[in-house]
Amino acid sequence: MSLPTVDVLIPTTGPAASLAATLASLANQRYPSFRVTALETDLAGAEAVQLVGLVRVLEARGHATRFVAARTPALAVGRAQALLGHADAEYVLVVDDGVFLEADLMGRLVAAIRASGSAFVGSSVVDLRFRDEHRPEEEAIEFWDGPVRPEEIGVGTEGWARRKVHRGANLQHLRERLPRTRDRLYHVADIAGCVLYDTAKLRHVGGFRPPRDRGRWSSVPPTSASATQLRLLQRYGGAGLFPSGAYRLLPVDAEASSSPALASSSFAGDGVGTRRRRRGRHSRMTRGQHAGTPGMRGARRGGPVA
């Protein structure tokens, strides 16, 4: 059996509705060659039935889906690193739960990263709650006119201000205002929520592990995906895809207790998500725990959910 082109990794552990929304949009992707890997999740009753149904749709369309057991660190970058160990496709798409992807987005991302030869291409997540809130002072965007090249970006530099265009619905406002004749790539400092990485290049810089030598990025939390992306930008180059095609359905709550820097206005929402695992009335689903409700462990390592 040939490997898929893309391993989709879902490292966040939000509510079941968030994961269901992302799985539904993945099931509707036109791009044919991908599989999905997520962490085993704590579910019960109807929530498990819904997710099992979505897994069946994905697998019926040829996309193996697996839920893997892992010691889940507090931050999603640690979970992303754990899931990266299960990936062997040419590219990995790291996407937050609670993010909805337009049907052609994965194909657009793959085409863009292949054409550019860059280490990553991201589709910054648009929050349509802010569609009526226009921020022209944050809508500056710098498109790549030639090949994507390596860049060294530091906190407080001119390039660091590129992050502003990813706030709220700024990219949606630009999409509505600018003519679109083709997909375009633009300069980024970092990008969050839906990012396609070249797997070999990502591993070459240590994946999502904190760097040993943080150098000029000492003010960037080493446990954020921003730190990984800055290393990739410096060595290989990376870009954002315009227009985006990814939308946030649920707000992200920063983990202030785990990383105060990530909860600040400068880093909230950086990289992959930072939601806390929800505990309480839900228990971990195992096969046969509820009559007629198969558990999510059945999809582990690409096996079908029975």
Has residue 50 got a pLDDT over 60? yes
Please, what's the b/e burial string for 111-127 (b: 16 or more CB within 10 A of its CB; e: otherwise)? ebbeebebbbbbbbbbb
Spatial distance between the Cα atoms of 296 and 42, rounded to a whole number of angstroms: 9
pLDDT band at 74 (very low <50, low <70, confident <90, very high): low
Q: What is the mean pLDDT of the chain?
A: 81
pLDDT band at 296 (very low <50, low <70, confident <90, very high): low
Fold entry, domain 6-302: Spore Coat Polysaccharide Biosynthesis Protein SpsA; Chain A (3.90.550)
Q: Domain spans of the chain?
A: 6-302
Mean pLDDT along residues 237-250: 96
- Whether the ω angle into residue 243 lies within 30 degrees of 0, i.e. cis, is yes
Spatial distance between the Cα atoms of 281 and 299, rounded to a whole number of angstroms: 23
Q: What is the pLDDT of residues 178-226, one digit of tens each?
A: 988 899 999 999 999 999 999 999 999 999 987 665 555 455 654 567 8
Helix (H) or strand (E) run with residue 24 in it: helix 16-27
